[in-house]
Amino acid sequence: MPAVQLNKKVPDFSAESTGGTFRLSDHKGKNVVIYFYPKDNTSGCTLEGQNFRDNIAKFRRNKTVVVGVSRDSLASHEKFRTEQAFPFELISDKDEALCKLFDVIKEKNMYGKKVMGIERSTFLIDASGKLRREWRKVKVDGHVDEVLEAVRELNRANP
């Protein structure tokens, strides 16, 4: 399956999440924000999740679902989600199917070693299932505010 492209329909997918099976098609009629992060319980990933958590009411008011994705296990996700009181699901992508679909596995430097890992990235899919925005090499500070503003712009353009 080729990687997603801006302004093109995202292929329907299903993946195991903390809330059972997450299917993109189940959210037709709503915007979907999918954020990929490297690892549960690490400082940047925790802060990013907390920022989405703290703004979830604003996303919901803007008819938008938020979901996080990493390669961690469901057990790890359940613990992380509970500890941080995340009001959204976390998808376990152990086989990297979603990571490949969204092309987020990149070579990274970890303590001087080259490793393949998730490049922090966020994607905004509109209510019709088209990819409208993508953010790659995300820096956590201010990112959620930028995503929320993009959601608002999208809703203004497509009332």
Residue 112 pLDDT: 81
CA gap 123, 131 in Å, rounded: 7
Global pTM reads 0.94
Residues carrying an active site annotation: 45
3 state DSSP class of 25:
helix
How many other CB atoms are found less than 10 A from the CB of residue 28?
A: 12
CA gap 159, 153 in Å, rounded: 10
CA gap 116, 7 in Å, rounded: 28
Residue 53 pLDDT: 97
pLDDT by residue for the chain (159 residues), tens only, comes to 678 998 999 999 999 999 999 999 999 999 999 999 999 988 889 999 999 999 999 999 999 999 999 999 999 999 999 999 999 999 999 999 999 999 998 887 777 888 888 899 999 999 999 999 999 999 999 999 999 999 999 998 877
Residue 1 pLDDT: 60
User: Cα separations (Å) of 69 from 4, 37, 158, 159?
Assistant: 16, 6, 27, 28
Tell me which residue of 46, 39, 36 sits closest to 76, measured CA to CA: 39
14-157 maps to which CATH number? Answer: 3.40.30.10
